[in-house]
Structure 1
Amino acid sequence: MKDSGDFLRKASLARAALAALEQHDLAPEPQNYALFYAYASGSEPLLKEAVDGILREEGALSRADLAMLCRAFLRDQALGLTWHELPLDPIGNAPSASRDATTSAAAALSAAHAAATRNGSRTATIDLVRRLVAATRSIEERKRLIEEELVRSRAELDALQASLDNVRHETLNDQLTTLASRRHFDEAFERAIAGTRESGAPLSLLFTDIDHFKSFNDRYGHQTGDHVLRLVALAVKQNVREQDTACRYGGEEFAVILPGTAAAEAMVIGEEIRAAVMGREFRRRASGEKLRPVTISIGIASFLPGDTASSLIERADRCLYRAKSSGRNLVMSDDGQPLRERA
């Protein structure tokens, strides 16, 4: 059995809540009642400050104010009844003090409503209103500032990400030729070696070098030399497949990783690249002067059991050296025989 004091306290809170609704000309709807019941009980100090502040500043609570307060302070409350659905028994017919109040909550609230209507009590605590409005607006201002800071931080993060992407792109791509950089080659080649070891698929590595490039640079100048590098890189790019990785290995030397490619097929690709470069006409950009023919030499090595990245690179480099020492402008593979020779 509940103590009569508990019932009387709750009935008093109910009267205070209903009186406040009437005072402020608010409909006695469940959410409004629950809000002012909590207000009267003092269980939510911030709610009391919020309500008092709005009343002191504005003189009344708007629908928007009520909606905001209910969202903030009645998070988990859901009252399913409206006041016209509750029985309005007179206060004298309310359950006795010895009866459990929880068994007739609706009757108790109705009785409290009738009593509050009869005695016409009004409560107004105007002193705290300005503090409430100031606190509420201060919170809103802080929220606005935080949101602005989040927007700025997001913009800064986006700019930083774009900058990092640019740095990564510049790191992994050669700016002059637009082919992959030496760093990209090192990473991609290690992955290709690991993939070949795991799958058993063939793998070939192609090295190419521009013949007599130093003398070409000395004769025509570095700007023209850079133009030749870009055109040779374009010929390489146009004659490899989507799964291949073409890189500027260093200086006038290029490398192409050919996954899933055996030696014979790699030789064909190398010959196509060599022929494409030899068949291209080179001219000075400024004057249009026709330059001497540009040729390249190519060395190709294919993966063998026990190979590492270093050993495969060393073998491809030896093949390139043999191509140059054998007269240049040709493709040389591991077997020591050129695919074709050009005078």
Structure 2
Amino acid sequence: MNTATNSPKAQVPDVAAQITFAMRTMGVAPIPRNYELFYEAYIGSNPTLTRELAALGSRATQEELDQLGEVHFGSHQNRVVDSAHSKILTELEALLRLLKQEQTSLESYNKLLAETHTRITSKNSTSADILRNAIAILSKATGETMAHGEQTVEQFSQKSQEMDQVRRELDEYKRIANTDSLTRIANRRAFDERLATIFDGVSKPLTALVLADIDNFKKINDAYGHPVGDKILATVANVIKANVRKDCFVARTGGEEFAIIIDGNTSDEVQQICERVRVALETTPFKNSKTGVNYGPITISLGFCMAGDAEDAGELYAKADIALYCAKNSGRNRTKLYEDGMKKDFTKSWLIYRR
């Protein structure tokens, strides 16, 4: 579950390259809907999809891939995005028309002001005529312009409300797209986005990336089946969430792997948080109330690295992964902080070929 590397920074796993290579190896066309299938299989958030995709073999037809995509994703996502895109274009076009109308109205008003100025400065009119004409023209022009302005403001308000509704629809779509359907926490897609923000130009030495992995999870799945494994994954996610601050970012990054991003704590404090999670999980009962079967104890290994010890997100992930490997390799059910000199020559197979 770890990534082969002699230099963590130089050989951080390129997910896109690995997925593209796998698609090319299997003779799959590199189109977006196929990439989405392989991406979900890679991150392991949907074990059933992973198994079914692997079962198609090395020469899956496009029809088979589309059928698999329809079963697991349907066409809802594309409909949501296409609908929102269409609505946004419509509302923007309407706003541009309003702006053009407002510009035309103001241009007419400016012409009337210029005409009034001409009449006021004319030497051929009496003072009374000048005043009367000026008042008449300005009153009419100002009244029409104000009425038009009020109408424009009202229309702008309506369009803004409609566009805000589109924004809310897209926010909800993004929330769903970034949520792991099994554990109801953030998924790998959301994690990748959040990880990238750690190095956004602002120094964050008190930010930590924690990677966690359920110990011997494959044995649990083999012994009790995937339905039990799925329930254990959901429970582990709940235990992690319950034992970190609400502002900590928690995600399932694939299979039995989880990640936590903690802001504003020293390495000693992060160690304490990790230990709290580990002990809480170790003491959580995993028992079938109907059959009496005890699935536990369930333990977890954790590795973490402070952002101040990495130059970018890729190096931070690689070092946290190395610390996790060392926690696993030294006996499991423990927490390790990344330190220079930790073992680096380990390998990580791509999920779809490992299962």
- Which structure has the larger Rg? 1
* TM-score under structure 1 length normalisation: 0.50
Query: Which of the pair has the greater relative contact order for Cα pairs under 8 Å at 6+ separation?
Result: 2
